[in-house]
Amino acid sequence: MAAGVPVVTTTKGAQGLAARHEEHLLIADGADTFAAAVLHLLHDPALRQRLANNAYALVRERYDWSAILPSFLDLVEEVARS
Mean pLDDT by 10 residues, the chain (82 residues): 96 97 98 98 98 97 88 92 90
Q: What pLDDT score was predicted for residue 77?
A: 93
Phi, psi of 18 (to 5 degrees): -85, 10
pLDDT of 78 reads 93
pLDDT computed for residue 38 by the predictor: 98
Nearest in space to 24 (alpha carbons), one of 44, 6, 2: 6
What lies within 8 Å, CB to CB, of 12 at 6+ separation is none
Please tell me the pTM assigned to this model.
Answer: 0.81
pLDDT value at position 9? 98
Contacts of 6 (CB under 8 A, 6+ apart): 25, 26, 41, 47, 48, 51, 52, 55
Count CA atoms closer than 13 A to 71's CA, side-chain side.
7
So what's the pLDDT on residue 22?
97
pLDDT for the residue 12: 98
